[in-house]
Every structure is written in C-alpha cells, then in structure tokens.
A = this chain, B = another copy of it.
C-alpha cells in the first residue's frame, strides 16, 4: 500500500488528511503547530517532528498550505522535505498558488528527481470533510494516473487538465468567479437597501433567481444576518485575488472587474475584516456607502 505524507493540517488540510487515513492508507502527518495533528493521531496517523521525517516515511506527500512561500519553506532547509526525500517521491501540492509559482516549485523539485502535481481544490470545509471536493490537476499524465485513486479519496470530481501549473490556473478561474459573485451580491444588496428595500426582502428575492447559485444563496445569509463567521477568511480571498491579477499580468489577460474587486478586498483586509468570512466585503462597501 502507498505510504502517504500530509503537511498542513489547517481548516482544509485537517479533514482532507482525515479522509486519507480513513481510506486505510498509512499516513504520516506534520503541522507547524503540533496540536493540530492530534485529531489525526487519534485516527491512526503517525505524527512526524519535521517535513524531513514525513519525507523519510512517504512515497507521496500532499501539501495543503497557505501560500507558495509556505510550500517552499517545508521543502527547503535542514528539516525540509528535500533533506529526507528519496528519488522518485511524488509531491502533490493542493495549496492555492499562482501557476508560475507552482511551476517554479516543480522545476526546483525536478532537479532532485521529485515529481510534482499541482492539485488545488474547489470547495470549502464542508466538502473537505465529506470528501466531495473538486480537484483540478496539472502535471505529467502518468503521474496523475498513479495518484488518481488517492485524490479520489478527497474529492468527488477529479479533473486532469494538462502540464504542471494547469491545476493552479483552473483554481484561479474558480476563485475569480467566487469573488465576483460575492462582490456583485454586496453591490446589488447595497443598491437595494439604499434604494429603500429591506435587506431581508432583497436577500430573499436575490436568492431565488436564475442567477442564484448555491454560493449566492449562502452568502445572502451572511449579509442578511450580518454573520461573518469565517467559512473562507477574507484575507485568503484577498491573497487569491492578488494571485489572479499576477497571473493575468503574466498571461496577458486583462481582468478589469477582478482587479477592481482586488482593490476593495485589500481595503477590507486593511480595515480589520481579514479574519472574517470573505462575505464581509459587504461591510466595507456598506461603510463606503455611509451605512456603518
């Protein structure tokens, strides 16, 4: 049986790793703050003291970290994955990073004879727990085929897209639409509210239209109830918007609405909404509209 390592046991990584161990695969985990590894230990995972130790005990390592710098940090250094990796190791990075960042990491790993897939996910904590994430994968197709079953443990829809970086690109596309729906919902609600319609009535109407995705129906609730308990923290969306703008710049794609949205999320993060749900961009726009 395939020996798996998992680095990064946060809001998303924790339940994803749990699904790996529940599937009966031998799992070694590592997290910078060790207490997050406790639930996995109870499920039967081995807890390593360093990324290096994860590498010494794994054929495949999954990383689910906050950004590209965090990924590089667990790879490099005396305690890093590279210090413990045997040639032939496969690294599956499921973090959200820009395609060029993913490709740079892949090139660096190739020098150490390590194969890499970029396999970021669509979906938040709910699907992560249920193992029903969407997973979009870039990298060598043979490597993907060999890892498909493992990925299927975490996700319902697993798509192979092409060369390394393709998964990261598709994740940008996902989050671009998610951010735009949130932003447009906030702008639309404010027009309605300042135009004299109550938030509750406007919310009900906007939640039942042809344009009302599952996402919109949930986010309407955040606004109407002024409840910004984080399902996806605003600071993460702000980071992702920065990655989209960076990717558009590099690929030569003009992103006028996304970049306008990026700027507003930067203001929302700066003005204290960083740890709230990204629906709190409504609060920032409401403030700019003189409402709060």
**A positions within 8 Å CB-CB of B:** 99, 122-123, 134, 136, 157, 159, 161-163, 165-166, 169-170, 172-174, 176-181, 183-185, 187-192, 194-197, 201-202, 205-206, 208-216, 238, 242, 244-249, 251-264, 266-267, 269-272, 285, 287-290
Contacts and interface: CB of A to CB of B under 8 A. Distances in A.
Nearest to A210: B214
Contacts of A185: 177
Contacts of A238: 249
A181 B123 CA distance: 18
- Determine how many copies of this chain the complex contains: 4
A248 B209 CA distance: 22
Contacts of A249: 238, 242, 262, 266
Contact of A212 (B184, B213, B262): B213
Nearest to A195: B169
Nearest to A175: B188
A208 B253 contact: no
Instruction: Please give me the 8 A-B residue pairs with the lowest Cβ-Cβ distance, nearest first.
Output: A169-B195, A180-B184, A252-B270, A173-B188, A213-B213, A267-B288, A260-B260, A256-B260
